[in-house]
Amino acid sequence: METATAEWVSIRPLSAVTIRARFATLPFALLLMLGAVGLLVGSSQAGAQASSGEHTARTVLVLYSDNRLLTANTVFDASLRQTLRSHVGEPIDCFSEFLDEVHFPAFHQERMRDLLRAKYADRPPAAIITFAPPSLDFCLRYRSELFPDAPIVFAAVEAHTSATGALGPRVTGVRSSFDGPATLRLALRLHPDTQHVFVVDEPSRADLTSRWEDFRESESSPRFHHLDARPLQQLLEALAQLPDESLVLYLGPFAAETGRRVTPQEIAQRMAAVSRAPIYATSDAFVGHGVVGTVTTPMDAIGRETAELVGQVLGRERVDPIPPVRTLATAPIFDWQQMRRWDVRENQLPAGSILLFKPPSLWQQHSRLVLAASGLFLLQSGLILALVLQSVRRRRAEREALQRRQELAHTTRVATMGELTASLAHEINQPLAAILSNTQAAQRLLATGNTNGDEIREILADIVADDQRAGEVIRRMRTLLRRGESEPTILDVNDLAVEVVGLVRSELILQNVDPVLDLSPTPLRVHGDRVQLQQVLLNLVINALDAMKETSNGDRKLRVRTAAMDDRLVRVSVEDTGVGLPADSIDRVFERFVTTKPHGIGLGLAICSSIIQAHGGRVGAENNADRGATFWFNLPAVDAEAKR
Amino acid sequence: MSTHTVFVVDDESSVRKSLERLLRAAGYHVESFASADEFLRGEPEERIGCLVLDVKMPDLDGLELQQVLAEADRCLPIVFITGHGDIPTSVRAMKAGAVDFLAKPFDADDLLAAIERALEAAGNQASKRAERAEIERRLAALTPREQEVLRHVITGQLNKQIAADLGTSEKTIKVHRGRAMRKMQVQSVAELVRLCEKVGIHGP
């Protein structure tokens, strides 16, 4: 026999000890305790009433027909107590008792009656709630002996039971339905191809299956079969071998299986695990335990309505008549997970269906979190986008700056070459003249026949050499006139000096300048852009030539010198015998728009300076001791870098 | 083709060499020099010929050489060649008596035509110079008194007038005049006047 359990319907304020116990582990326990102290102080009057109400709190007795493990009982109990708490404006002590009548002989009920009478003698119940017909029968049978003054509120009694006349005074209750036919009708509609319906029930109620066989809705009605609920193992094996197009209607057991203490929900769960057909039941207690659905009065609704009725009964204790019996409607109840398993779609369900266990969408579940995360994500994306845009813009600006620098360098190169036009034309016209003369000489020799092969061969060799020379001049020119950057390479500044002086050779002749190449005996390697470095040296040489315009013919000397400063630096210098630099502008000649030439714009040396700086070097200028000036630039030596 | 010499002065060896070939193929006698100095040093004898001269050269350039030669009264017609001809330079050269001014690269026909003209000029100048030298030689054979008389004769004066001017007898003048005419190898006063004009001898 089940031990009677009593639970406080916690209408009374919680004691400080309870609060402390509940929050003791939390770090803000102290804070809460302070709050609790405030609560206690604030409600001291209510507390005083409660402590005296320990004797005045009325008792409500709930009498269940079965044992405590039955799901329907627990669902009902939870719903009942919750509604009592919120609907009854006074402290109530609510006790549950279990008749467990199916497992014990009938004579045991008298003992139960005596036990209850003795147990509650000191605190007679203000109302008795019965759950399911057996406990109602029990109460009605012993009405005169068992608290005859207490009103009875029954629950879980079938609506079609017509025994209302026999209830007697001060008895009311809630009628509900486990609507088997409606459940089956709905199941057949959802599974229209069903050929077989297997009714699972207590073996003792096998005869009831015939009731289901009467169920006819159309000509194509399925065949009905009975499956014994016990033994369980046999039932599970049967379910695993069901034919196609089957349906299972689970009617029981509602009570736990004795001995092995398996609850009905566990049975339903194990059935659903192996069953080849969808399982429908007539109680919502199984929804959530493998059953697809049912049409019934929801158990929590029964609990709620009963509690409300109890509230009314307690409220009008001394006033008859007692509130009338309520009849509750049924509703289809479905398990969303099982619907998915058996391919039942949501839009097939009748209107007003209760759909349980449908996982709430992320939005429903965590709308704030989703909002916050989305906001954060958007914010972050925006930030990233802004950073990317900024980076793109900066890179574009850098690219544009570099491009402009290169264009400026190119423009000044073109201008420089423009100054050399006469010289370059001379350099190209010389070999062209030689080629033409040689060719025409050969033509004449051949025409007169006054020649031998050797001479012609010589002439042709000279033509080839001259042609190559002209091509080389054009190649150097094109290199300098080319736009954009060339590939940085390792180059010898001695070669650089030879190339540049070669390029201005004619210019030197035209201007009666005597060039001296004072080159280092060993190669001086630097890492750099050949075109840009040529441009720098060319610029310095042309400046030197310009500076010597006023110098008398015999004194025009240009010295291009390359030397290793130490093992880390290479210096290239251009020395002239020109007018020299004005003392006040020596330090400023490499600035933009500073010029000492009458028609200069002051960009050449500024660009030289930026090119050399980009190569990790330095430019400089100084006046010579005797006459003229020396311009130089230093570059890091490559060999030194290799050593590091 | 004449056997006159064409002198080539150019600092660019390949140009020099090609010109030598071309001109030899055209039948000229060619001598070439790498600089103006070299030319001045290497050309002691005064041969009839012409000069193919590069304008721009280190040290003494073409125009300067032209000037040096003119000052030395060296009769050597010049054909200038240049790698980059500008108008002021060409005008200067032509004014100073150049035969032609050719921009490199030039056609052989143009060069040879210019050389022909230069040699022709050189020939003319040479024959004039030879004629003048002969006249000078004849003049040199005259006594100072005969030369004095000659200057008066070419002004168209009569013997009597000359005698009056020089304060001597008409007869003496007649003897001097006859000797001078003979030494100058002329038959008439008109002929004498022409010769004297050629060497720039004028009346007193």
Give the pLDDT confidence of A339-389 residue by residue, as tens digits.
888 888 888 888 888 888 888 777 788 888 888 998 999 999 999 999 999
pLDDT score of A636 more than 70: yes
Residue B14 falls inside a structural domain: yes
Q: What is the ipTM of this complex?
A: 0.77
The fold adopted by the segment(s) A420-483 is Helix Hairpins (1.10.287)
Residue B163 falls inside a structural domain: yes
The pLDDT of residue A215:
61
The pLDDT of residue A52:
44
Asked if A435 lies within 8 A of B105 by C-beta distance, the reply is yes
Give the pLDDT confidence of B150-171 residue by residue, as tens digits: 888 888 888 888 888 888 888 8
The residue among A52 and A98 whose pLDDT is bigger is: A98
Name the closest residue on chain B to residue A447, using Cα atoms: B25
Q: How far apart are CA A170 and CA A322, in angstroms?
A: 6
pLDDT score of A10 more than 70: no
Residue B32 falls inside a structural domain: yes
pLDDT score of A434 more than 90: yes
Residue A375's alpha-carbon distances to A178, A383, A384, A385, in angstroms, are 49, 12, 14, 15
The pLDDT of residue B116:
92
pLDDT score of A179 more than 70: yes
Label residue A206 by pLDDT band (50, 70, 90).
low
The pLDDT of residue A183:
86
Q: How far apart are CA B69 and CA B76, in angstroms?
A: 8
Helices (H), chain B: 13-25, 36-42, 62-71, 87-95, 108-141, 144-153, 159-166, 170-183, 189-198
Residue B73 falls inside a structural domain: yes
Residues B75, B175, single domain; the answer is no
Of A298, A73, A328, nearest in space to A175 by CA: A328
Residue type, B57: M
Asked if B83 lies within 8 A of A444 by C-beta distance, the reply is no
Q: What angle do CA A91, A94, A96 make, to 5 degrees?
A: 175
The pLDDT of residue A643:
46
Residues B157, B77, single domain; the answer is no
pLDDT score of A238 more than 70: yes
CB-CB contact of A309 with A299 (8 Å): no
Give the pLDDT confidence of A624-634 residue by residue, as tens digits: 888 889 999 99
Q: Does residue B56 sit at the A interface (CB-CB below 8 Å)?
A: yes
Helix (H), strand (E), coil (C) string for A272-318: HHHCCCCEEECCHHHECCCECEEEECCHHHHHHHHHHHHHHHHHCCC
pLDDT score of A319 more than 80: no
pLDDT score of A531 more than 90: no
Asked if A426 lies within 8 A of B56 by C-beta distance, the reply is yes
Label residue A519 by pLDDT band (50, 70, 90).
very high
The residue among A206 and A222 whose pLDDT is bigger is: A222
Mean pLDDT of B90-102: 89
Q: β-pairing, A618-623 with A629-636?
A: antiparallel
The pLDDT of residue A35:
44
Beta strand residue intervals within A444-532, DSSP E? 489-492, 514-518, 525-528
Label residue A19 by pLDDT band (50, 70, 90).
very low
The pLDDT of residue A3:
43
Q: Which of B25, B84, B108 sits opposite A429 (nearest CB)?
A: B84
Shortest distance, CA B87 to any CA of chain A (angstroms): 13
The pLDDT of residue A22:
44
Mean pLDDT of A436-464: 90
The pLDDT of residue A574:
94
Residue at which a domain ends, from B78, B105, B132: B132
Residue at which a domain ends, from B132, B152, B169: B132
pLDDT score of B183 more than 60: yes
CATH number of domain containing B154: 1.10.10.10
**A175, β-bridge pairs:** A157, A327
Q: How far apart are CA B159 and CA B169, in angstroms?
A: 9
Residues B47, B128, single domain; the answer is yes
If you search the block for the tokens 């790498």, which residue do you land on? B34
pLDDT score of A74 more than 80: yes
What residues of A are in contact with residue B28 (Cβ under 8 Å)? none
Residue at which a domain ends, from B97, B132, B167: B132
Asked if A465 lies within 8 A of B14 by C-beta distance, the reply is yes
Spans of all domains in chain A: 5-62+71-149, 180-296+329-356, 420-483, 487-644
Asked if B57 lies within 8 A of A509 by C-beta distance, the reply is yes
Architecture of domain A180-296+329-356: 3-Layer(aba) Sandwich (3.40)
Tokens of A102: 């199916």
Kindly tell me the sign of the dihedral angle through the C-alpha atoms of A374, A377, A383, A384.
negative
Give the pLDDT confidence of A389-407 residue by residue, as tens digits: 999 999 999 888 878 877 8
Q: Which of A442, A445, A462 sits opposite B14 (nearest CB)?
A: A462
Q: How far apart are CA A563 and CA A544, in angstroms?
A: 19
What residues of A are in contact with residue B15 (Cβ under 8 Å)? 430, 433-434, 437
Q: How many domains, in total, are found in chain B?
A: 2
Residues B175, B81, single domain; the answer is no
Residue B137 falls inside a structural domain: no
Which H or E element spans position A4? none
Residues B125, B151, single domain; the answer is no
Q: Which of A433, A441, A512 sits opposite B21 (nearest CB)?
A: A441
What residues of A are in contact with residue B106 (Cβ under 8 Å)? 433, 436
Q: Which of A432, A437, A455 sits opposite B108 (nearest CB)?
A: A437
Q: Tell me which CATH code domain A487-644 carries.
A: 3.30.565.10
The pLDDT of residue A4:
45
The pLDDT of residue A492:
93
pLDDT score of A1 more than 50: no
**B8, β-bridge pairs:** B32, B52
Q: Which of A429, A445, A509 sits opposite B105 (nearest CB)?
A: A429
pLDDT score of A14 more than 80: no
What residues of B are in contact with residue A426 (Cβ under 8 Å)? 56, 83-84
- Kindly give the interhelix angle for B159-166 and B144-153, rounded to the nearest 10 degrees: 130
Judge residue A215's burial from the number of C-beta atoms within 10 Å of its C-beta, 0-12 exposed, 13-18 middle, 19 or more buried. Answer: middle
The pLDDT of residue B46:
66
Query: Mean of the per-residue pLDDT values for chain A?
Result: 80
CB–CB contacts below 8 A, A to B: 91
Residues B28, B68, single domain; the answer is yes
Residues B124, B25, single domain; the answer is yes
The pLDDT of residue A12:
41
Shortest distance, CA B128 to any CA of chain A (angstroms): 34
Lowest mean pLDDT among A121-125, A159-163, A334-338, B53-57: A159-163
CB-CB contact of A151 with A311 (8 Å): no
Residue B161 falls inside a structural domain: yes
Residues B60, B115, single domain; the answer is yes
pLDDT score of A53 more than 60: no
Residues B152, B179, single domain; the answer is yes
What residues of A are in contact with residue B86 (Cβ under 8 Å)? 422
Question: How many CA atoms within 13 Å lie on the side-chain side of A466?
Answer: 27
Give the pLDDT confidence of A532-589 residue by residue, as tens digits: 898 899 889 988 888 888 888 778 899 999 998 888 899 999 999 988 888 777 777 7
Residues B114, B47, single domain; the answer is yes
Q: How far apart are CA B197 and CA A214, in angstroms?
A: 167
The residue among A321 and A13 whose pLDDT is bigger is: A321
Give the pLDDT confidence of A243-267 residue by residue, as tens digits: 988 999 888 665 555 555 677 778 8
The pLDDT of residue B23:
93
Residues B115, B158, single domain; the answer is no
Residue B49 falls inside a structural domain: yes
For residue B44, what are the domain limits? 5-132
Surface of B (92-111) touching A: CB under 8 A: 103-108, 111
Residues B90, B22, single domain; the answer is yes
Q: Which of A433, A444, A465 sits opposite B15 (nearest CB)?
A: A433
Of B53, B1, B41, B9, nearest in space to B25 by CA: B1
pLDDT score of B17 more than 60: yes
Q: How far apart are CA A348 and CA A128, in angstroms?
A: 42
Residue B81 falls inside a structural domain: yes
CB-CB contact of A258 with A232 (8 Å): no
CB-CB contact of B54 with B65 (8 Å): no
